[in-house]
Amino acid sequence: MRQINNEGLELIKSFEGLRLSAYKDSVGIWTIGYGHCRGVCENTPDITPAQAQALLLLDLQDCQTEVETLVKVGLNDNQFAALVSLVFNVGLSPLLKTLGRLLNKGDYNGVAEQFLKWNHAGGVALNGLTRRRQAERQLFLTLA
């Protein structure tokens, strides 16, 4: 299985931030570590930085597989990493909608612009998501 490169991993970590105690994210989902939410609740015990890293790498496995499965065109390492970051943050919707259709037609510039449209949470455009989408777009456009 193809894996996210270090640039993509660091991008995700920088935007997710490291929280060793469970907290509610911007849309009210219990989260811990670097954006891990599966099985997390208010009473989830604190974790270590090493556990947070392990949870992130585990969570990214599904995202990497989904990108590999749904993308039918070649991707450089940065393009792959940017897409994995996007899927990790918002789910499969971008790959199942316009972004994915443009990508599989080979319209890489069109895809880059689509990143910027995925900056909403709970129906509201968020500055943090806008910055993240800009960073993912920039990574996507960077030759690897």
Which residue has tokens 């943090």? 128
Whole-number Å distance between alpha carbons of 107 and 57: 29
Q: Which amino acid is at 51?
A: Q
DSSP letter for 107, please.
Answer: -
| Active-site residue flag, 16 | yes
The upper half-sphere exposure of residue 76, i.e. CA atoms within 13 Å in the direction of its Cβ, equals: 9
Whole-number Å distance between alpha carbons of 128 and 96: 23
Catalytic residue among 16, 66, 68, 113: 16
Strands 30-33 and 19-24: antiparallel
Catalytic residue annotation:
16
